[in-house]
Amino acid sequence: MANKQRYSGLYPVAPTPFTSTGEIDFDGQRRVLDCMIDQGVDGICILANYSEQFLLSDEERRQLTELSLVHVAGRVPVMVTCSHFSTQVAVSRARHAAEHGAKLLMLMPPYHGAGIKLDEASIYEHFARVADGAGIPIMIQDAPLSGVTLPADFMVRIARQLPLVRYFKIEVAGTAAKLRKLIELGGEAIEGPFDGEEAITLMADLDAGATGVMSSAMLPDLICPVIEHNQAGDRKQAAKAYDQILPLINYENRQCGLRAAKTVMMKGGVIKSDHVRHPLEPLHPATRTGLLELAKSVNPLALSWGI
């Protein structure tokens, strides 16, 4: 049977804070989660690419999963990213997350370099086994990072045949067009069509029927009004609210990437360091200055939460 609870709204990605020497700042992680809840989010995604999941050890993943789920304590639903090329590892991660209270999972299709390409049958089986192992809803992350093409009709087939796999985060070129096609082909089987990429295409994606948004943790409180006005049928006010924050979102997406939320949160006293793990490099001082100037002009909660 399909999952009775439908998840929608704003589900930002929690950054993983590190000390200045690169160790996980566990107290900082708790503060990040509290700040995000105060930002008015509908849910939180952990261990995603914007959480630097590809720079974490298996033990660190386990610790962060358990810490986050204990600390959030049901205040909002938590989605745990469990992507891995190995189906066995993905199932193990998913089971662990479900056992500790995760409400949803997010996975990219299995990928490992440009030379390994799986057919649709193998990709389908990967998601089927994870769903069977975890028993909670799964969101497929359709992202260029994987290098895997997921046609809309294939995702619709997955949704119709795997009732727990009916959420889709679309962040490829032409997101709105793909969301629209996915919804048109899948109908009620598409329980959660989500917008991604830090909400840089948010208005077009809402127009296309997106019911969920996955941004960074930099300015969820300022994205909320866009979604709320849109849900109320006031597109003019939604567009006005979006226009005010789009320069900052664009700067984040095109200039900073995952480092933006950390830099704003450090400036706002949420975390002590905006360190990113090598081989990622810190923001150039000029880029940091530009980011903070734009952030100050719209004043997201993260810029003052801990001060």
Q: Which of 50, 267, 58 is nearest to 145 (CA)?
A: 50
CA neighbours closer than 13 Å in the CB half-sphere of residue 65: 27
- 152 Cβ contact list (under 8 Å, min separation 6): 178, 181, 182, 185, 186
**Active site includes 117?**
no
φ, ψ (nearest 5 deg) of residue 234: -100, 80
Cβ proximity of 233 and 217 under 8 Å:
no
Secondary structure of residue 282 in the 3-state scheme: coil
| Marked catalytic residue, from 4, 103, 117, 169 | 169
What are residue 170's DSSP bridge partners? 142, 195
| CA nearest neighbour of 52 among 292, 306, 275 | 275
Residue 106 three-state SS: strand
Residues with active-site annotation: 169
